[in-house]
Chains A and B, each alone.
Chain A
Amino acid sequence: MKICKSCVLPVNFPHITFASDGACNLCRSYKGSSEAGRLKKEYKDKFELLLKKIASKGAYDILVCYSGGKDSTYVLSVFKEMYGLKILAFTFDNGFIPERTFINIRNAIERLDVDHIFFKPRFNLLKKIFREAVKGFLYPMKAMERASLICTSCIGLVKYTALKLAIEKEIPFVGFGWSPGQAPVTSSILKINPRMVKSMEDVIKRPIVEVAGKEMEGYFLNERHYSKPDKFPIYIHPLAFLKYDEKAILNKVKKLGWIEPRGLDLNSTNCYLNSFANAAHKRRYGFHPYVFEIAALVREGCMSREEGLRRIRNTGDRKTIEMVKRRLAI
């Protein structure tokens, strides 16, 4: 299969075009790293200014969506140690968190001395959603370009349960550990109008309610939340404006007692479901669901092309995939 000579996007990725020199259109239009550096500084300053302006009136400054993976563990340390924020860390348990990740979470939140809550929705409902997602259900086609549909469903639930929690607890910021390939720097500080949020929520909520039933509505926002537009938080993606260096991130999180769990694929450090979701996506659409993100990391110099290729060629752990299938009864 033809792959871009600069990044890792394959010729069968939706809408991609190649020039005669073998570079894809995204690489050809990439503006270079000096522009990226300028923007990073601009957004970092912007966030620091915002922090001064928006002091929390409640117990917390920021709700951190904390998966227990290396990036979000690192982000937790950034908010605590670099910015000195009052943190509530939030972990969504999708039923596929490795045992080692639970230990990693406990180690990090104790060493960083932050409050933390787990939320585990009923597994039967999640099972229905994941089983349908793998068949390629209901979301706009566009969604499958950036992630597997299982991931899209799961992250959608994480995002809206976190948003609800932030509104209810009046927490002004919500932090995520997206890599710069998942969230570009220009969107690292995100304030979205609640009415726009509602339209976006609908795109995820409608299909989920359709496959798992009306009970799922309770996991999303309701009129009570939408009646408080001034309580909607600002989303912060700090890895987009800080230096993203995987080695440095691993060094830091190891000091917090973090050890990489076994049985995972190369693109996740906290979720057993990922290998299965990736394999299903690749089978259905012909390309790896992480390829867009990895291509961006390679383009921006955060990852070597060789490493990028290794990650998209990795097929994950066979035993883990079998375990996931059993648990989902597929």
Chain B
Amino acid sequence: MDDIKKVLKKFIIDNYLLGSQDVRLSDDDSFLEQGIIDSIGVIELTNFIQDRFNIKINVTDIIPENFDTLNNLERYITKKLKR
């Protein structure tokens, strides 16, 4: 479980916070509200998740409830992996 979050966190920090060691990104921080991820970032994140976890993500799934925080994303990916 922790692995998913770790992988996601690393991707987000590397790509949107430029790999900074000193950023605090907690599991419930909203990517959208903090401006960490915009429309372009969302698509890059989706592509990354599809490749890394080998799952297919429909546009209808890319909603804030699934994509806005580390916790939401982890929950969503876990659900997809179980199917």
Contacts and interface: CB of A to CB of B under 8 A. Distances in A.
Contact of B60 (A15, A139, A186, A193): A193
A5 B33 CA distance: 34
B19 A25 contact: yes
A17 interface: yes
B81 interface: no
Nearest to A232: B59
Interface in B22-73: 23, 32-36, 38-44, 47, 59-64, 67-68
B18 A25 contact: yes
A195 B18 contact: no
Interface stretch (A109-117, A196-204, A264-272): A196-204
B17 interface: yes
A199 B20 contact: no
Contacts of A202: 32
A196 B42 contact: yes
Contacts of B47: 186
Nearest to A235: B39
B42 A192 contact: yes
Interface stretch (A64-72, A78-86, A140-148, A283-291): A140-148
Nearest to A192: B39
A81 B61 CA distance: 36
A199 B68 contact: yes
Given A196-B62, A196-B67, A235-B39, A140 B33 contact: yes
Nearest to B61: A193
Given A186-B43, A190-B40, A195 B19 contact: no
5 contacts: A14-B18, A187-B39, A193-B59, A199-B64, A199-B68
Interface of A: 13-17, 25-26, 29, 139-143, 183-184, 186-187, 190-193, 195-197, 199-200, 202-203, 235
